[in-house]
Amino acid sequence: MELLLDGFANALTPENLMYAVIGVLLGTAVGVLPGIGPAMTVALLLPITYNVEPAGALIMFAGIYYGGMYGGSTTSILLNTPGESSSVVTALEGNKMAKGGRAAQALATAAIGSFVAGTIGSVLLVLLMPRIADIVVELGAPSYFAIMLFALFTVTAVLGSSKLRGFISLFLGLTLALVGSQTGQARMTFGRPELADGIDVVVVAVAIFAIGEALWVSAHLRRRPLEIIPVGQPWMSKADWGRSWKPWLRGTAYGFPFGALPAGGAEVPTFLSYVTERRFTKHPEEFGKGAIEGVAGPEAANNASAAGTLVPLLAIGLPTTATAAVMLLAIQSYGIQPGPQLMDTEPELVWALLASLFIANVLLLVLNLPLAPVWAKLLRIPRPYLYAGILFFAGLGAYSVNFQAFDLALLLVLGLLGFAMRRFGLPVLPLIIGVILGPRLEEQLTTALAISQGDVSTLWSEPVAVLVYVLMAAIGIVMAVMAWRRRGQEPDEIDRVLDRAAATDTHDI
């Protein structure tokens, strides 16, 4: 508790509090734009933190993180355009509420539910992370290798019904991770000295998210203006509060555990929350027509999962969502490696970040409820102007990494890859996770084999590693059985929602 209070003292300095406010405002302003999710928001705003001290930069990113999450729910409700895959379920009922003249109530329950879930999730994060770090620090290279393999497998296999597309995306990410001469031998550098240190992950993230998205939108640009539903001042009646508070708590109970797993993500808990609320509701006739429970529960699950993803990110160094992957890049850009040693090597930084999550949550509610009509007006920015600005900032961000023109050419090539992935329905998340974890996976494999003098059996010589492999096998068997049982049947509701979530891996246009 004393460490957390020290973190609050650090985060509440005027300078860091200013960074938190800027982060929340920027995150919401960019995240609320049509077709832009939290991952793309964080990727685009990453370069603005390069000249900020590490503590201030991470505090700003906490604000951007939560602001981007809220912005994604706004576009889901007002435009039926989810900013990320986990916002798909919110759009099911939220947009129906907006079309029925209850946009203000939908935005209010989303914002307050996000605050409740984010606060509870932050408390659980503070309680669990030190204990998990103490356990993980005892693990050897074989266990680390198994856990990373498990993260790659589950992130690739769980989202969407097409496992083949997920593994193709993962293969592309691992291939990009091989570029460079980190092992002492040049691999796939094509004689270019700029590739000797590998492809910078920031360039990959910005290209896949921003350039690929801009090219995709330009190829499918709507000529008619977006139909934007007017928003009044968000408020909730006594009846709305009565119907929302239980879904907020149930959604939080679903979201945090799923986010905290190395196989985390918010797609499954948001859908489970939606199904649960539809089963428990006293107003079943409203589901499919704009039930407030269908917004409150999934939004709480989404934000609780967002807090949960920070557990494997900070305690193990494993990003399990696209947004967490970009946040890992932000942390690593300061020479800081998340993992079990982080709380010992950078205690002030870690506790300031944890304290800033609470601050960002409060700022999100205080700033964004009154400003909801203002954010809605940003949706009127014409698409050509919007994506021209995205291309400019994406190019500026990629160039600022190494100040090399070669990175701009690389940005375009990878942007074309991102466009092709959207064209053929390949999810983006496995590629990003593969690029980030690929080198670390190789490092742990090399370390384990070097210690055992090449004995492959060392990879399953630790109990944790054996347990992880058993879990992977069990998941594979369950998925195979479910696929066999559903063969020839019409897709059920779970398949339809997960397929739409996979197509909305970054955003749905």
Beta bridge partners of 180: 187
User: φ, ψ for residue 3 (rounded to 5)?
Assistant: -65, -40
In this predicted structure, the answer to whether residue 2 has a pLDDT above a threshold of 70 is: yes
Burial of 184 (0-12, 13-18, 19+ CB in 10 A): exposed
In this predicted structure, the answer to whether residue 6 has a pLDDT above a threshold of 80 is: yes
Residue positions counted in the chain: 509
In this predicted structure, the answer to whether residue 314 has a pLDDT above a threshold of 60 is: yes
Which single residue is written with the structure tokens 């938190």?
A: 20
pLDDT, tens only, 170-223: 899 888 888 887 666 777 887 788 787 788 777 887 788 778 877 877 776 655
Residues 6+ apart with CB under 8 A from 70: 27, 28, 31, 32, 110, 111, 114, 364, 368
**Given this model, what pLDDT does residue 183 score?**
65
Burial of 2 (0-12, 13-18, 19+ CB in 10 A): exposed
Are the beta carbons of 162 and 491 closer than 8 angstroms? no
> 373-377, 388-392, 446-450, 502-506 — which is least confidently predicted?
502-506
> 31-45, 89-103, 299-313, 433-447 — which is least confidently predicted?
31-45
pLDDT, tens only, 12-46: 888 888 888 888 888 888 777 766 667 777 777 77
In this predicted structure, the answer to whether residue 422 has a pLDDT above a threshold of 60 is: yes
Model confidence band, residue 152 (pLDDT cutoffs 50, 70, 90): confident
Question: What share of the chain has pLDDT > 90, as a percent?
Answer: 3
User: Distances in Å between the alpha carbon of 325 and those of 124, 138, 179, 330?
Assistant: 21, 24, 19, 9
Q: How far apart are CA 406 and CA 398, in angstroms?
A: 10
In this predicted structure, the answer to whether residue 509 has a pLDDT above a threshold of 50 is: no
Q: What is the DSSP string of 235-246?
A: ---HHHHHHHHH
Q: How far apart are CA 194 and CA 139, in angstroms?
A: 36
Q: How far apart are CA 333 and CA 260, in angstroms?
A: 24
Q: How far apart are CA 56 and CA 130, in angstroms?
A: 22
According to DSSP, residue 184 is labeled S
**Given this model, what pLDDT does residue 470 score?**
92
Residues 6+ apart with CB under 8 A from 487: none
Model confidence band, residue 505 (pLDDT cutoffs 50, 70, 90): very low
**Given this model, what pLDDT does residue 149 score?**
86
Residues 6+ apart with CB under 8 A from 495: 161, 486
433-468: burial string, b at 16+ Cβ within 10 Å, e else: bbbbbbbbbbbbbeebbeeeeeeeebbbebebbeeb
Q: How far apart are CA 107 and CA 94, in angstroms?
A: 8
In this predicted structure, the answer to whether residue 342 has a pLDDT above a threshold of 60 is: yes
Among 61, 58, 70, 86, which residue's Cα sits nearest to residue 28? 70
Q: How far apart are CA 352 and CA 57, in angstroms?
A: 11
Which single residue is written with the structure tokens 């539910």?
A: 113
Q: Where are the domains of the chain?
A: 1-508
More confident of the two residues 257 and 214 = 257
Q: For the chain, what is the radius of gyration of the CA atoms?
A: 22
Please state at what angle helix 54-79 crosses helix 347-378, rounded to 10 degrees.
30
Encoding tokens for residue 281?
Answer: 């509701």
Q: How far apart are CA 8 and CA 312, in angstroms?
A: 22
Q: How far apart are CA 442 and CA 183, in angstroms?
A: 10
Model confidence band, residue 506 (pLDDT cutoffs 50, 70, 90): very low
Per DSSP, helices labelled H in 160-292 are 163-178, 201-206, 212-219, 238-260, 267-280
The predicted model scores a pTM of 0.75
Which single residue is written with the structure tokens 């832009």?
A: 36
**Given this model, what pLDDT does residue 437 score?**
80
Among 78, 72, 81, which residue's Cα sits nearest to residue 103? 78
